[in-house]
């Protein structure tokens, strides 16, 4: 399979997943009688009944599906990670696009959303996860292409560690409001300095790994 064909298949899969995921969110919100504008304060687990557990399971299943398609598409661990990144990024971006088509939401890139529920609620403005997804798609495609050309990214312990730390810092920026949200609060100020610090660490590590591969 050529690189372009593989990329087209992965993107098609991610677009279909994004449509399905956004449709499920529309059904879920109708089921519990809320609109996207009423996400905050969060519904209590007791008021949602078993829907809360089902939602957590749906999120986990989504991750499994994205990792699985990346694993099947790749030929080594770097390639599999690259294609998983592409699938995740396309899915996340198109998820918001389809929600906007279905509901007219989000109204702007600064609209806050509940991004994830495992292990605590993640929240942030829509532009933040979309930015991460754009980077994932870009780095993923370049890494997959270089791998196919026989020049896979050279990810040593330092660069892998830097990327992991950066990713963890970015995740922390989404969860700093979790205690307040769990107690019925609403999102406050988004800690964008923390977020951009994490993104910078991860992006520098990824870019340097790709640079070293290209120069081989």
Distance CA 129, CA 113 (A): 10
Nearest to 83 by CA among 130, 160, 139, 154: 139
State the total domains in the chain: 1
State the pLDDT at residue 68: 96
Q: What percent of the chain is helix, strand and coil (3-state, nearest 5)? A: 70, 5, 25
State the pLDDT at residue 216: 61
Distance CA 115, CA 38 (A): 15
Average confidence score pLDDT of the chain:
89
Q: Judge whether residue 47 has pLDDT over 90.
A: no
Which phi and psi (to 5°) does residue 33 adopt? Answer: 70, 40
Pair of tokens at residue 7 = 């990329």
Which range marks the domain in which residue 182 is found?
A: 3-214
Pair of tokens at residue 193 = 């300095």
Q: How do residues 74-96 score in pLDDT, each as one tens digit?
A: 988 889 999 999 999 999 999 99
């Amino acid at each position: 399979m050529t690189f372009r064909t593989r990329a087209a298949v992965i993107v098609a899969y991610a677009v279909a997943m994004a449509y399905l995921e956004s449709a499920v969110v529309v059904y879920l919100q109708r089921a519990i009688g809320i609109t996207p504008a009423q996400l905050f304060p969060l519904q209590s687990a007791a008021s949602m009944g078993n829907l809360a557990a089902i939602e957590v399971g749906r999120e986990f299943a989504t991750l499994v599906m994205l990792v699985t398609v990346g694993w099947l598409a790749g030929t080594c661990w770097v390639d599999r990670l690259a294609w998983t990144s592409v699938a995740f990024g396309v899915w996340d971006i198109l998820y918001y696009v389809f929600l906007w088509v279905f509901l007219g939401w989000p109204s702007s890139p600064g609209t806050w959303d509940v991004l994830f529920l495992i292990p605590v609620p993640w929240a942030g403005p829509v532009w933040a996860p979309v930015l991460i997804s754009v980077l994932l798609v870009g780095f993923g495609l370049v890494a997959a292409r270089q791998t196919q050309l026989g020049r896979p990214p050279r990810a040593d312990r330092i660069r892998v560690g830097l990327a992991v730390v950066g990713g963890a810092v970015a995740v922390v920026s989404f969860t700093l409001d979790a205690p307040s949200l769990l107690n019925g609060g609403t999102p406050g100020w988004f800690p964008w300095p923390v977020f951009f610090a994490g993104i910078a660490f991860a992006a520098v590590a990824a870019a340097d790994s790709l640079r070293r591969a290209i120069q081989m």
